[in-house]
Amino acid sequence: MNKRVYGIIGIKSIMANWNADFSGHPKSIFNGDIFGSDKALKYPMKKMWDENGEKVLYIKSLKIEEDKKEGVKVRPKSLKERYEEIFEVKDLKKEKDSKKVITNLFSAVDVKNFGATFAEEGNNIAITGAVQIGQGFNKYEDTSVEEQQILSPFRDASKEKNNTGGEDDKEAANSTTLGTKIVSSEAHYFYPFVINPLAYKDYVKMEVTEGYTEDDYNKFKEAAIISATAFNTNSKLGCENELAIFIETKEDLYLPDLAQYIRFEKGESKNVITLGFDSILSKVSDRILSIEVYYNPLTTEFANKLEKTKYFNIFTREVL
């Protein structure tokens, strides 16, 4: 692929938790601004590829393991075990051909897009991905964090063992347990991304990959448009793709993080997004090959429109 691609991926979260920290609250920086990490966006992309039968290396997978002391346990596979599984290798430690290992890595769709840190004995490999995704900041100012109490149908049996005879202990031992679900009332995350096919030029010379191709780009593009909507877990139900912008340019054009110029407001009947980078694009229009914008016209409208741009319904792909 002999072009660069710049863009933005927008994720809507309604009474859901798109990316929680270790306390269960939506991730935020020191001043309280809520954001989603690039890992939160990449995960549903990997899940979508995996479910479509693609080779995905960096994703959690489980195994049943018998331990003499602990019995039969279900545990996550190690990176070595995952590699051996998807590339049908008996023992990675015995693999002395690093070129073969790198070739295998590039055949995994997540590695081809996002790169890899492969630190295994005898094969310590780092690949900088052609696709780089930044942090996605919430642009909606009125976001609030909601905590919901959840009643479990089961009591905590450990309370019986620790019961010292007090009334509170007796009541706790005879009651079902309480849990907490933490969500954001409404949040709108906007992630910047850039695709640089030249990141793999040295590997092309080594003949371990054909480089970043149009097919690789189309797989990323499809995941960028719909993967969050498709990923419906308990905490992610309510999260969906609401915006995807793809700006294809000549290889010699360098653009800044475009998501920083996005503004989001609530209109009378629809959400209003302002694309504040239109003046930047107008000055380099001779080096822009195409612009595509995917969004939900039922919920979203734009305060301004980009020139020479095709607009699509993000769900039906209908031209708007």
Q: Are 61 and 45 in contact (CB under 8 A)?
A: no
Q: Token pair for residue 283?
A: 């000055």
Q: Are 34 and 28 in contact (CB under 8 A)?
A: yes
- Where residue 317 falls (left for φ over 0; alpha for ψ -120 to 50; beta otherwise) is left
Residue 225's region, left for phi above 0, alpha for psi from -120 to 50, else beta, is alpha
For residue 317, the model assigns a pLDDT of 96
The H-assigned helical ranges of 107-200 are: 109-114, 158-161, 167-173
For residues 207-229, average pLDDT: 96
- Reported confidence tier of residue 220, pLDDT bands at 50, 70, 90: very high
Q: Residue 92 is encoded by which pair of tokens?
A: 């990675």
Q: What is the pTM of this model?
A: 0.90
- What does the pLDDT look like over 165-179, one tens digit per residue? 555 555 555 566 777
Q: Which two tokens stand for residue 273?
A: 């997004």
Q: Which two tokens stand for residue 160?
A: 């019986």
> 123 with 116: CB under 8 angstroms?
no
Taking only the tens place, the pLDDT of each residue in 16-57 is 999 999 999 999 999 999 999 999 999 999 999 999 999 999
% residues pLDDT > 90 (the chain): 77
Which pLDDT score is estimated for 234? Answer: 54
Q: What is the pLDDT of residues 142-194, one digit of tens each?
A: 999 998 888 777 776 666 555 555 555 555 555 667 778 899 999 999 999 99
Contact (CB, 8 A) for 300 and 271? yes
- CA-to-CA distance for 168 and 51, rounded, in angstroms? 48
Q: Which uninterrupted H or E stretch holds 38?
A: helix 38-51
State mean pLDDT over 294-317: 95
Distance CA 79, CA 267 (A): 47
Tell me the residue type at 188.
Answer: H
